[in-house]
Structure 1
Amino acid sequence: MSEKYTPADVASHKNDENGLWIIIDSGVYDVTKFVDEHPGGSKILKRVAGKDASKQFWKYHNDSVLKKYSPKLKIGEVKDAAKL
Structure 2
Amino acid sequence: MSKEFTINEVATHKTADTGMYIVIDNGVYDVTKFADEHPGGAKILKRVAGKDASKQFWKYHNEGVLKKYTEKLKIGTVKEEAKL
CA drift of 1:45 comes to 0.1
Aligned residue in 2 for 1:42: 42
Measured against aligned partners, the alpha-carbon deviations of 1:39-70 in whole angstroms (never above 9, x if no partner) come to: 00000000000000000000000000000000
**Unaligned 5+ runs, structure 2:** none
TM-score under structure 2 length normalisation: 0.98
- How far residue 16 of structure 1 moved from its aligned partner, in angstroms, is 1.3
Q: TM-score, normalised by structure 1?
A: 0.98
Q: Are residue 73 (structure 1) and residue 61 (structure 2) matched?
A: no
Could you list the per-position Cα deviations for residues 2-35 of structure 1 after superposition, in whole angstroms to 9, with x for gaps in the alignment?
Answer: 2100001100000111010000010000000000
Aligned residue-pair number: 84
Stretches of structure 1 that go unaligned for 5 or more consecutive residues are none
Q: In 1, Cα distance between the equivalents of 2:16 and 2:66?
A: 23
* Whole-angstrom distance in 2 between the partners of 1:83 and 1:41: 37
Indicate the SS of the match to 1:28: strand
After TM superposition, what 4+ stretches of structure 1 lie above 4 angstroms from structure 2? none
